[in-house]
C-alpha cells in the first residue's frame, strides 16, 4: 500500500503504517499489510472508482484510501479529502462526469497520507482548508520521518519485510530532500469550526476532541443532511488510532458524542473507511470503542499487566470487522494506557 509520507511517521507498528500512509507515487502494498477497507482497495484499476449520489448535491466517492466526499453547488464544487497523488487525477475525472463546475475547495479531514496524498493535484485549482494541526503535522513530517524511520527500517529489516524496508527508505530519502514549501499543506486553517456557504447549502466544518488524531474534522451538509466523518468513523472496520499524532481512544467517545448531539437521526453518513452508513453506524462504532475501553478497564482494575491483558484480550463480536487481526490489539493496548 502506498507510502508513508505525511504519516507523522510516528506509527507504532507495521500494521499502523499501512493506514497512515501517503503517496506521492503509489507503490504496491507491502505483503501482509492490512487494508482498512479491503473492499475499496482491492478493486481493479478499471473499476477503482465508485460514486454514490446521496441527495442534495452531495456524493460519496470511493477510490483507494480514505473515502472522498464532494458537493456540487450552483457555482463550484467542494471536495473532502484527496486520497493519493496517483489517483487524484482520476478523482477529478469522476467529479467532472457529474459536474463541469470548477473545483474550488478541498477540505482535509486530517493529515494522514491516504486523505491528503492527492493535495498536490488539487492545490493547482482549489483552496485547501483544514484544521491548524493538519498543516502543522504535514509541515513537520520530514523532521518526524528523519527522526523515526531509521529505527523503523531496522525493525522491518529484522522482520524480513523487504517491501516495507523499500517503502520506508524511499520515504526517508524524500524527507531528506524535500523543501517545506513544496509540501501541499492547507493554506487556510481554523482552530475550532468553520462554515462555508454555497447556494442554499450551509457546510459545517467541526474540529472534534482528539480521537483519530488531534487534527480531526467532520463536515456536515445541513440541507442535504449528509455527514462526512473522516477517520473519526471506520464503518465495520477496526480503526487505526494514531496516539502518536495526538489521537485517543477515550477521545473517540467524546468526539462521537459531540457529533451525535449535533446531527439529526436521519442523516446519511460517509465514514473515512468502510461503506456509507447512517447514525446507527456511528453508534455501533461508538459501542466498539466503549467495549475496548471497558475490557481494558476491567483488566487494569483486576491488576493485570498490559502484557497479560494483550495476550488474552478478544472481542469476538467484532471479529468480522476489517483489520481485526492487524489493529485490534493496538487499540486494546492504547485503551489500557489510557484507563486508570
Ligand atoms: Zn487516518
Reported confidence tier of residue 47, pLDDT bands at 50, 70, 90? confident
Hey, is 64 helix, strand or coil?
A: coil
Given a contact cutoff of 8 angstroms between Cβ atoms, the answer to whether 145 and 171 are in contact is yes
| Distance between CA atoms of residues 338 and 243, nearest Å | 10
Kindly give the distance from the C-alpha atom of residue 177 to the centroid of ligand 1, in angstroms, as a whole number.
Answer: 25
Reported confidence tier of residue 44, pLDDT bands at 50, 70, 90? low
Given a contact cutoff of 8 angstroms between Cβ atoms, the answer to whether 268 and 54 are in contact is yes
| Consecutive H or E run containing 105 | strand 103-107
Kindly give the distance from the C-alpha atom of residue 296 to the centroid of ligand 1, in angstroms, as a whole number.
Answer: 23
Interval 193-217: pLDDT, tens: 999 999 999 999 999 999 999 999 9
What pLDDT is recorded for position 3? 41
Kindly give the distance from the C-alpha atom of residue 186 to the centroid of ligand 1, in angstroms, as a whole number.
Answer: 16
Question: Phi, psi at residue 123, to the nearest 5°?
Answer: -65, -20
Kindly give the distance from the C-alpha atom of residue 213 to the centroid of ligand 1, in angstroms, as a whole number.
Answer: 8
pLDDT over 90 at 35, yes or no: no
**All residues with CB under 5 Å from ion ligand 1:** 112, 231
| Distance between CA atoms of residues 5 and 316, nearest Å | 34
Q: Compute CA 180 distance to the chain's CA centroid, rounded to the nearest angstrom.
A: 22
Q: Which three cell numbers stand for residue 18?
A: 499501512
| Distance between CA atoms of residues 200 and 278, nearest Å | 23
Q: Which three cell numbers stand for residue 105?
A: 475547495
Kindly give the distance from the C-alpha atom of residue 134 to the centroid of ligand 1, in angstroms, as a whole number.
Answer: 11
pLDDT over 60 at 14, yes or no: no
| Consecutive H or E run containing 95 | helix 88-98
Amino acid at each position: 500500500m502506498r507510502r508513508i509520507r505525511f504519516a507523522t511517521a510516528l506509527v507504532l507498528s507495521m500494521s499502523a503504517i499501512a493506514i497512515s500512509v501517503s503517496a506521492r507515487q503509489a507503490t504496491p502494498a507491502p505483503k501482509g499489510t492490512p487494508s482498512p477497507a479491503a473492499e475499496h482497495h482491492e478493486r481493479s484499476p478499471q473499476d477503482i472508482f465508485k460514486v454514490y449520489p446521496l441527495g442534495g448535491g452531495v456524493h460519496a466517492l470511493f477510490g483507494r484510501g480514505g473515502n472522498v466526499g464532494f458537493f456540487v453547488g450552483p457555482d463550484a464544487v467542494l471536495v473532502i479529502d484527496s486520497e493519493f497523488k496517483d489517483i487524484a487525477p482520476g478523482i477529478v475525472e469522476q467529479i467532472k462526469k457529474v459536474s463541469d463546475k470548477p473545483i474550488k475547495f478541498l477540505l482535509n479531514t486530517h493529515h494522514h497520507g491516504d486523505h491528503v496524498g492527492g493535495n498536490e493535484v488539487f492545490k493547482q485549482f482549489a483552496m485547501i482548508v483544514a484544521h491548524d494541526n493538519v498543516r502543522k503535522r504535514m509541515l513537520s513530517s520530514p523532521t518526524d520521518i528523519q527522526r523515526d524511520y531509521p529505527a523503523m527500517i531496522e525493525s522491518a529489516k529484522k522482520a524480513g519485510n523487504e517491501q516495507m524496508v523499500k517503502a520506508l527508505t524511499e520515504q526517508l530519502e524524500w524527507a531528506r530532500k524535500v523543501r517545506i514549501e513544496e509540501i501541499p499543506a492547507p493554506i487556510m486553517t481554523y482552530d475550532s469550526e468553520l462554515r462555508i456557504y454555497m447556494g442554499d447549502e450551509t457546510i459545517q466544518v467541526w474540529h472534534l476532541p482528539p480521537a483519530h488524531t488531534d487534527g480531526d474534522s467532520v463536515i456536515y451538509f445541513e440541507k442535504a443532511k449528509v455527514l462526512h466523518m473522516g477517520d473519526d468513523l471506520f464503518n465495520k472496520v477496526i480503526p487505526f488510532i494514531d496516539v502518536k499524532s495526538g489521537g485517543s481512544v477515550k477521545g473517540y467517545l467524546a468526539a462521537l458524542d459531540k457529533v451525535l448531539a449535533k446531527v439529526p437521526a436521519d442523516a446519511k453518513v460517509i465514514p473515512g473507511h468502510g461503506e456509507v452508513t447512517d447514525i446507527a453506524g456511528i453508534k455501533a462504532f461508538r459501542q466498539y470503542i466503549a467495549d475496548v475501553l471497558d475490557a481494558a478497564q476491567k483488566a487494569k482494575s483486576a491488576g493485570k499487566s498490559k502484557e497479560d491483558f494483550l495476550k488474552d484480550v478478544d472481542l469476538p463480536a467484532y471479529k468480522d470487522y476489517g483489520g481485526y487481526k492487524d489493529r485490534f490489539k493496538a487499540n486494546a493496548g492504547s485503551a489500557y494506557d489510557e484507563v486508570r
